[in-house]
Chains A and B, each alone.
Chain A
Amino acid sequence: MATTQQPDYFVPAPSWWPFKGAVALFGIGLGAALLVNSVPFSWVPLAIGIAILLWMLFGWFGDVIRESEGGVYSKRVDISFRWGMGWFIFSEVMFFAAFFGTLYYLRSISVPELGNMEHKILWPDFKAMWPMSVAPNGTEPYQVMGPWGLPAWNTLILLTSGVTLTWAHWGMMENKRGQLKLGLLLTVLLGALFLGLQVYEYAHAWGDLGLTMASGVYGASFYMMTGFHGMHVFIGALMLAVMYFRSVKGHFTAEHHFAFEAAAWYWHFVDVVWLILFVFVYWL
Chain B
Amino acid sequence: MTTTVHTPDHAHGDDHHDHHPHGLTRWLAATNHKDIGTLYMWFAFIMFLTGGVMALCIRAELFSPGLQFVRPELFNQFTTLHGLIMVFGAIMPAFTGLANWMIPLMIGAPDMAFARMNNWSFWLLPPAALLLMISFAVPGGAAAAGWTLYAPLSTQMGMGMDLTIFAIHIMGISSIMGAINIITTILNMRAPGMTMMKMPMFVWTSLITAYLLIAVMPVLAGAVTMVLTDRHFGTSFFNAAGGGDPVLYQHIFWFFGHPEVYIMALPAFGVVSQVIPTFARKTLFGYHSMVYATSSIAILSFMVWAHHMYSVGMPVTAQLFFMYATTLIAVPTGVKVFNWIATMWKGSMTFETPMLFAIGFVCLFTMGGFSGVVLSIAAVDIQLHDTYYVVAHFHYVLVAGALFSLFAAVYYWLPKWTGFMYSETRGKIHFWWSMIAFNVTFFPMHFLGLAGMPRRIPDYAVQFTEFNALASVGAFAFGIAQIYFLFAVLLPTIRGGAGPAPAKPWEGGNTLEWEVPSPAPFHTWEQPPSRELVDKLAAQQQLH
- Report which A residues bind B (CB closer than 8 A): 1-3, 5-7, 9, 11-19, 21-23, 25-26, 28-30, 32-34, 36-37, 39, 60, 76, 79-80, 83-84, 87-88, 90-92, 94-95, 97-99, 101-102, 105-106, 109-111, 113-114, 132, 135-137, 212-214, 216-221, 223-224
Q: Tell me the minimal C-beta distance from A130 to chain B in angstroms.
A: 9
Q: Are B219 and A94 in contact (CB under 8 A)?
A: yes
In this complex, which of A14, A15, A19 has the most chain B Cβ atoms within 10 angstroms of its Cβ? Answer: A14
Q: Are A213 and B233 in contact (CB under 8 A)?
A: yes
* Chain A residues in 8 Å Cβ range of B159: 33-34, 36-37, 39
Q: A19-B119, A36-B228, A216-B242 are in contact. Are A76 and B2 (CB under 8 A)?
A: no
* Chain B residues in 8 Å Cβ range of A91: 176, 180, 214-215, 217-218
Q: Are B226 and A33 in contact (CB under 8 A)?
A: no
Indicate with 1 or 0, residue by residue over B132-160, a CB within 8 angstroms of chain A CB atoms. 00100000000000000000000000110
Which of chain A's residues has its CB closest to B252's CB?
A: A98
Report if B269 contacts A (CB, 8 A): no
Number of contact residues on B: which range applies? Answer: 35 or more
Q: Tell me the minimal C-beta distance from B115 to chain A in angstroms.
A: 5
Report if B440 contacts A (CB, 8 A): no
Q: Tell me the minimal C-beta distance from A258 to chain B in angstroms.
A: 13
| Complex alpha-carbon distance, A246 and B242, angstroms | 48
* Interface members, chain B 181-206 (any A CB < 8 Å): 181, 183-184, 187-189, 192
Q: Tell me the minimal C-beta distance from A70 to chain B in angstroms.
A: 16
Q: Are A136 and B241 in contact (CB under 8 A)?
A: yes
* Chain A residues in 8 Å Cβ range of B4: 6-7
Report if B447 contacts A (CB, 8 A): no
Which of chain B's residues has its CB closest to A31's CB?
A: B166
Report if B526 contacts A (CB, 8 A): yes
Q: Are B229 and A224 in contact (CB under 8 A)?
A: yes
| Complex alpha-carbon distance, A90 and B213, angstroms | 11
Q: Are B116 and A60 in contact (CB under 8 A)?
A: yes
Q: A88-B180, A224-B229 are in contact. Are A33 and B163 (CB under 8 A)?
A: yes
Report if B279 contacts A (CB, 8 A): no
- Could you give 9 example pairs across A and B, Cβ below 8 Å? A2-B531, A6-B4, A9-B110, A12-B31, A18-B119, A21-B124, A26-B170, A33-B159, A136-B240
Indicate with 1 or 0, residue by residue over B157-173, a CB within 8 angstroms of chain A CB atoms. 01100110111011001
Q: Are A14 and B31 in contact (CB under 8 A)?
A: yes
Q: Are A18 and B123 in contact (CB under 8 A)?
A: yes
Beyond A14-B31, A25-B173, list 20 extra A-B contacts (CB 8 Å).
A2-B530, A7-B527, A14-B21, A14-B25, A17-B116, A22-B123, A25-B124, A34-B159, A91-B214, A98-B218, A98-B219, A101-B251, A101-B255, A106-B237, A132-B243, A135-B236, A137-B242, A213-B229, A213-B235, A217-B243
Which of chain B's residues has its CB closest to A93's CB?
A: B218
Q: A87-B180, A212-B234 are in contact. Are A25 and B127 (CB under 8 A)?
A: yes
Q: Are B184 and A2 in contact (CB under 8 A)?
A: no
Q: A29-B167, A135-B243 are in contact. Are A18 and B134 (CB under 8 A)?
A: no
Report if B505 contacts A (CB, 8 A): no
In this complex, which of A17, A97, A98, A219 has the most chain B Cβ atoms within 10 angstroms of its Cβ? Answer: A98
| Complex alpha-carbon distance, A217 and B235, angstroms | 7
Partner of A102, one of B173, B234, B237: B237
Which of chain A's residues has its CB closest to B173's CB?
A: A25
* Chain B residues in 8 Å Cβ range of A1: 1-2, 530, 532
- Report which B residues bind A (CB closer than 8 A): 1-2, 4-7, 21, 25-26, 28-31, 109-111, 113-117, 119-120, 123-124, 126-128, 130-131, 134, 158-159, 162-163, 165-167, 169-170, 173, 176, 179-181, 183-184, 187-189, 192, 214-219, 221-223, 225-226, 228-229, 231-237, 240-245, 247-248, 251-252, 255, 523, 526-528, 530-532
Q: Are B114 and A32 in contact (CB under 8 A)?
A: no
| Complex alpha-carbon distance, A232 and B433, angstroms | 52
Partner of A105, one of B29, B165, B225, B251: B251
Q: Are B126 and A22 in contact (CB under 8 A)?
A: yes
Q: Are A7 and B188 in contact (CB under 8 A)?
A: no
Partner of A25, one of B1, B170, B232: B170
Which of chain A's residues has its CB closest to B213's CB?
A: A91
* Chain A residues in 8 Å Cβ range of B173: 25
Q: Tell me the minimal C-beta distance from B35 to chain A in angstroms.
A: 9
Q: Tell me the minimal C-beta distance from B467 to chain A in angstroms.
A: 39
Which of chain B's residues has its CB closest to A92's CB?
A: B218
| Complex alpha-carbon distance, A260 and B187, angstroms | 23
Q: Are A15 and B31 in contact (CB under 8 A)?
A: yes
| Complex alpha-carbon distance, A4 and B58, angstroms | 60
Which of chain B's residues has its CB closest to A83's CB?
A: B184
* Chain A residues in 8 Å Cβ range of B225: 224
| Complex alpha-carbon distance, A261 and B234, angstroms | 39
Q: Are A83 and B188 in contact (CB under 8 A)?
A: yes
| Complex alpha-carbon distance, A7 and B530, angstroms | 12
Q: Are A84 and B236 in contact (CB under 8 A)?
A: no
Partner of B120, one of A18, A95, A212, A221: A18
Q: Are B232 and A36 in contact (CB under 8 A)?
A: yes
Q: A14-B31, A15-B119, A33-B162 are in contact. Are A98 and B127 (CB under 8 A)?
A: no
Q: Are A220 and B235 in contact (CB under 8 A)?
A: yes
* Chain B residues in 8 Å Cβ range of A84: 113-114, 117, 180-181, 184
